[in-house]
C-alpha cells in the first residue's frame, strides 16, 4: 500500500518535496523537545517515509495521454449516405 503517490502533480517541484520532509522532521523535533516522544516518533516516521518516497526513490512517470480515437469513415454511419448518393445518380 502506497500512502504517497509520487506521480501527483503537487510533487513535481523539488522544493515541495523537501518542504514536506523538513516539516515532518521539524515537527518530530518539536514533539521531542516538548516532552511527548510518542508523537515525536510518529512525526519522525512520517518524515522518514516521506523522505524515502519523495526524495530517495522519487521517479515520476510522465502523465499518460489518452489515445485519440477518430472514427473511421467506412465503419460509422457514412455507408448509407454514400449509397444514397449512388442511387441519386
- Per-residue pLDDT tens digits for 34-62: 999 999 999 999 999 999 999 988 887 77
What is the pLDDT at residue 84?
59
Q: Alpha-carbon distance 64 to 42, whole Å?
A: 35
- Per-residue pLDDT tens digits for 7-32: 888 888 999 999 999 999 999 999 99
**Could you tell me the residue ranges of all domains in the chain?**
9-88
Q: Alpha-carbon distance 85 to 58, whole Å?
A: 60
Amino acid at each position: 500500500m502506497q500512502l504517497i503517490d509520487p506521480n501527483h502533480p503537487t510533487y513535481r517541484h523539488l522544493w515541495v518535496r523537501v518542504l514536506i520532509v523538513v516539516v515532518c522532521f521539524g515537527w518530530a523535533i518539536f514533539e521531542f523537545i516538548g516532552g511527548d516522544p510518542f508523537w515525536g516518533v510518529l512525526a519522525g516516521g512520517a518524515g522518514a517515509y516521506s523522505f524515502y518516497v519523495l526524495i530517495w526513490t522519487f521517479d515520476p512517470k510522465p502523465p499518460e495521454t489518452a489515445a485519440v480515437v477518430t472514427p473511421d469513415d467506412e465503419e460509422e454511419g457514412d455507408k448509407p449516405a454514400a449509397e444514397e448518393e449512388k442511387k441519386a445518380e
